[in-house]
Structure formats: C-alpha cells, structure tokens
Amino acid sequence: MNEVILELDSVVKRFGDNEVLRGISLNLHRHEVVCLIGASGSGKSTLLRCVNLLETIDGGSITLFGQSLTDVRIDPDKVRRHTGMVFQSFNLFPHLTVLENVLAGPVRALKRKRSDVYDEAMQLLDRIGLRERSDEYPDRLSGGQQQRVAIVRSLSMRPALLLLDEVTSALDPSLVGEVLDLLRDLARNGTTMLIATHEMNFARDVAQQVVYLDGGVLVEKGTPEEIFSNPQHESTRLFLERVR
Amino acid sequence: MVNETDARLSEEAPSFFAPRRKQLLLGRRAIVASTLSTVLIIGGLFAVFLLAPGGATVRHFFFNPHDMWQSFVGDHRDALSSVGLGLLTNIWVFLIAEVFVLTFGLAIAWTRMTKSPVLMPFRILAIIYSDIFRGIPVLLVFLLIGFGVPALQISFISNQSLAVYGCVSLILTYSAYVAEVFRAGIYSVPHGQLLAARSLGLTNATTMRRVILPQAVRTVVPPLLNDFISLQKDTALLSILGVIEAVQAGTIYQDLRFNSSGLVVASLLFLAMTIPLTRFTDSLIARDRNRRLAST
C-alpha cells in the first residue's frame, strides 16, 4: 500500500450545540479512492469541508502530508491549493467563460502567466469534450457539462487530493452518468479522492474503502465487498436497504 | 349510487363569459377604454390648472415665457444671475461627487466586510461613519460642513469655496448610502461562489476582487443609478450655502423681478438632466428582469 497522505484522528466538529462530527478517524493513502456514504446530515459534507479548511475543527486532528492542519502557522490558502474541492451545486463563476473558470486557479491563486497555463487548460477541456465551448458562459451548458467543468477547474491546480461533495446529487438522472464516467476515469489514472456520494453502485466500482457515517459517527468502514455484501452493523444494513 | 353530500363534481357545464360591465374592458375595447381614461384624467388635470380661480396669476408668475427666458440667460449688468449658467455648477458638483462617492462607497463596504484583524479599527470607524451620515438630514450636513469647516481656520481645508463644501457634504452623505448598496450587492452573491473560490486557493482579497465584486456590481447598478438621480437633485441644496447654482439663480430672479418663472426654468433644467438617467435606469431594470425570466 502507498503512503498515508491524509490522517483524520478523532475529528470533532460542532455547530453551536449540534455535534455534527463525533470523533471520526480515517486514513487515506496515495492513489486511493475512499467513498463516504450515509444519509443526509450524517456529516459527510462537513468532513470534506474540514479537510479543506472551509470549516475549523473543534477537536481531534487532521494531518495532511505529515503537517497538522490545526497548527496556527498553517496557511489555509496553501492547503486548499493542494486539495481540490467540487460541490453539489457546481459553483462555476457565472461571470467568467468556461476557459476562464478553468484558468482561475492557476492564474489567480498560483499567479502563473495565462499563456503558460492556457494549453493545459485547453487539454483539460478537451478531455471532457468541451474544448469547442471554452468561450461560452457556464449558463449555456447543461448541468452535467457544468459539473465536469467544475471538476476540471479543480484539476487545473494539480491537487494531491480531490474532495467531491455529492457531485451528482443536483443533476438530472440522465446526466449523472457522464459525470461518474469522468470520476471513474480519474480513479483509473490514480487520482486520490475522498468522495461523499449517494451513488452506491459507483462507490462499489471505484472505492478501495467505503465508510459509512451515521449522525456524525463513523459506524463502519471496509472494502466495498465488506460493506455492501456483508455489513456488520444493523444501522449500515438498514441504510443500504433503504437506498437500494 | 351518488350521495348528495358526497358528490363534489358539478353535473352542470360551467359558463366562462364575463359579466356585461367587465366585457367593456376586454379585447380590442381595452384600447378604447385606456385612451378614454387617459384623455379624461390628463384633460381634467389640465382643466383644473386652466380654470382655477388663481390660474391666470399662476401662469403669469410661474409660466411667463418672457421671464422664463430672462431668468434662463440672466443679465449681468443688472446683477441678475443666469439659471442656465447656474446649472453648470450643479453639473460639475454632481460629476465630481459621483466619482468620489463610488470610490468611498466601495472602500467603506469593503472595509466593513473584511475579516483582516489589522483593519479592525477601520471597520469600527466605517460602521460609525455609516450610522452618522445615514442619520443626519443632508440639509444639516450642508450647514455643519459649510459653516463649521471654515470656522476651524485650518489652512487650505478652511479656505475652500462654498461650492466645494457643498460637494464634500454630498460626498459624505451619499458615500454612506452607496456603501450600503454595495454591501447588499456583495451579500446577494451566493455563498457557494465564495466557497468555490477559496477552495481553489484564492486569497480572501483575490476572491473579493475577481469573484464576488464583479457579480455584486452587476446586481447593484440599478439601485446605484437611483442614488445618482437623487444626488443630481440634491445639488440644489448648494443654494442654502449661498452658492449661485440653478435654484439660487432662480430665487435671485424672483427677488429682483417679483416673478417665479426662474424656479420653473430650474425645474425643467433638472428634469432635462435626470430624465435620461431615470429612463436609462428603468430600461436596465427591465432588461435585467427579462434576462432573469428567460433563464428560469
């Protein structure tokens, strides 16, 4: 197995009195795909946001490439430049063209010259078949196309780790496939991913590790085979029955 | 078998025709109805103006073509200021104030919304500033600045013309309003935009400049233009400091020639200035509305 790049140790997150993460521990290896499953409100999204420092944790520790993210000397912007995040609601920048969206990270965050990163951005768009639409604005694209652009926008930063937060949940059922195909493609190429998802078949296909969360507690984790075919806990069994 | 009380559906075919009186307002008759009501209302108002007991007097004192022309051009041999030339003062004060108001308004909105710990004192100052200048009537700001600042006897600052103090008063007041407009615009940008930008590793300042503000400014253009229409009109307050602008020139004409036509001329000139901006603002709002309706 490859080296551990992300280490969560008893992570706790509260919103006021509401404890949404109750001591989550989890390791993620390089080139590994881990899928987080669980009902809405189980803490999947919050966990991803904590890794990306969009939320600060109230207990435990998160270690990324051997550096504790709770250390006050950590620059959150630098952490985020190496951990791409894709959201349920795409969040493409509506005032920028598709190409400008993809260039935003390298040019505005890394301060690289536009001409130096242009080719790479076009290659990424080529990969998702949207090279011809690079000059259009996001609202001219379908939901599936927008989400693929959002994924590629994250990839433009060459992140060491990609966090995906229910990226197909806002899509028409007919558009889910094209987005999942792109993720499968990324997984095959060894992209390290932490994926919150409701797509069980997809999780079974791509994940090396599946983690079931319930009410902010990590109930069970294991290989897809273990979780889907032989769940050990009653609540996991019930959840899987409900979503099936 | 159908029970009387349980049967919810009527057996009878319904009639969809409007009652007689309402039929007069339907179809092509609507055009007739609207023309008729317009002629009646506008004509009625005009008739009141013409036939009022004092109608002739008002026409003589307010709408006299000779006096209107005289007040418009003025007469320098007679110390009679020109309303037309006075308007130039309103225009330059407005143009200069507008540039500063936009700059300060944005700066204040930005200051109030940054989270940088170093800017804490500025944030407090910005809040106090907004509270004060949105709370004091513009008229009082004019009087306090116009008579107070010269009394301070600080070189340069206290030696400016009254028009400059008027301009400063407008800048102080309107910056506070425009800051709030910008702030509302910034809040109107969906939170996901901020999350997306920050998760790419853009700094707070870059996110604001490249992602949030460009979207915020687009939504606040109509309300901003409304504030500018208001700013154009409020340049008339320069008259209370004794600055000879359009309204003051009209008042001087009134005092010397016992005729108020100069004030009507000033009103017409203000309308000539504001109506293009008003129409432009409304068309922008309509365009924005159409675009949003089309996209849903």
CATH of the domain at B129: 1.10.3720.10
pLDDT score, position A34: 97
Nearest to A87 among B192, B202, B206 (CB): B192
User: What gap in Å lies between CA A217 and CA B292, rounded to an integer?
Assistant: 43
A163-176, pLDDT tens digit by residue?
A: 999 999 999 999 99
User: What gap in Å lies between CA A151 and CA A124, rounded to an integer?
Assistant: 10
* Closest CA–CA distance from residue B212 to any residue of chain A (Å): 9
What is the pTM (predicted TM-score) of this model? 0.81
Mapped onto helix, strand or coil, the DSSP state of residue B75 is strand
Interface pTM, i.e. ipTM: 0.93
pLDDT at residue B293 is higher than 90: no
Confirm whether B195 is domain-assigned: yes
Tokens of B232: 């154009």
Among chain B residues, CA nearest to A105? B200
Considering its fold, how many domains does chain B have in total? 1
A142-196, pLDDT tens digit by residue?
A: 999 999 999 999 999 999 999 999 999 999 999 999 999 999 999 999 999 999 9
Please check whether residue A95 touches B, CB under 8 A. yes
User: What gap in Å lies between CA B160 and CA B120, rounded to an integer?
Assistant: 33
A96-106, pLDDT tens digit by residue?
A: 999 999 999 99
pLDDT at residue A37 is higher than 70: yes
Of residues B86, B93, B78, the one with CA closest to residue B250: B86
Residue type, A40: S
Which whole number is the average pLDDT over A41-54?
94
Confidence band, pLDDT 50/70/90 cuts, at residue B50:
confident
Q: How many CB atoms lie within 10 A of CB B129?
A: 19
pLDDT at residue B3 is higher than 80: no
Of residues B122, B90, B110, B113, the one with CA closest to residue B272: B90
pLDDT at residue B296 is higher than 60: no
A205-215, pLDDT tens digit by residue?
A: 999 999 999 99
* Closest CA–CA distance from residue A25 to any residue of chain B (Å): 23
Mapped onto helix, strand or coil, the DSSP state of residue B287 is helix
Confirm whether B172 is domain-assigned: yes
Beta pairing class for A217-222 and A4-15: unpaired
B60-113, pLDDT tens digit by residue?
A: 899 989 999 989 988 877 778 898 999 999 999 999 999 999 999 999 998 888
Confidence band, pLDDT 50/70/90 cuts, at residue A224:
very high
Quick one: fold of A4-43+54-243? Rossmann fold (3.40.50)
Please check whether residue A110 touches B, CB under 8 A. yes
Confirm whether B280 is domain-assigned: yes
B15-48, pLDDT tens digit by residue?
A: 888 888 888 777 788 888 889 999 999 999 999 9
Residue contact B211–A80, C-beta within 8 A: no
B128-180, pLDDT tens digit by residue?
A: 999 999 999 999 999 999 999 988 888 888 878 899 999 999 999 999 999 99
Among chain B residues, CA nearest to A106? B200
Size (chain A), residues:
244
Please check whether residue A157 touches B, CB under 8 A. yes
Please check whether residue A57 touches B, CB under 8 A. no
Residues of A in contact with B217 (CB under 8 A): none
Confirm whether B28 is domain-assigned: no
Residue type, A181: D
Give the side-chain half-sphere CA count within 13 A for B5.
0
Between residues A239 and B1, which one has the greater pLDDT? A239
A53-78, pLDDT tens digit by residue?
A: 999 999 999 999 999 999 999 999 99
DSSP B25: T
Of residues B125, B97, B131, B132, the one with CA closest to residue B111: B125
Confidence band, pLDDT 50/70/90 cuts, at residue A233:
very high
Q: Which domain does B232 fall in, by range? A: 83-295
Of residues A30, A52, A29, A38, the one with CA closest to residue A211: A38
A134-144, pLDDT tens digit by residue?
A: 999 999 999 99
Confirm whether B196 is domain-assigned: yes
Please check whether residue A139 touches B, CB under 8 A. yes
Confirm whether B1 is domain-assigned: no
DSSP chain A: -PPEEEEEEEEEEEETTEEEEEEEEEEEETT-EEEEE--TTSSHHHHHHHHTTSS--SEEEEEETTEETT-TT--HHHHHHHEEEE-TT----TTS-HHHHHHHIIIIIS---HHHHHHHHHHHHHHTT-GGGTTS-GGGS-HHHHHHHHHHHHHTT--SEEEEESTTTTS-HHHHHHHHHHHHHHHHTT--EEEE-S-HHHHHHH-SEEEEEETTEEEEEE-HIIIIIS--SHHHHHHHHHH-
pLDDT score, position B7: 61
Confirm whether B34 is domain-assigned: no
Please check whether residue A81 touches B, CB under 8 A. yes
Among chain A residues, CA nearest to B199? A80
DSSP B27: T
Task: Provide CB contacts within 8 A for A221, sequence distance 6+.
Answer: A26, A209, A210, A211, A212, A227
Which strands make up the sheet holding A161-165, listed edge to edge? A83-86, A161-165, A193-196, A33-37, A209-214, A217-222
State what percent of residues in chain A have pLDDT above 90: 97
C-beta of residue A128 within 8 angstroms of C-beta of residue A165: no
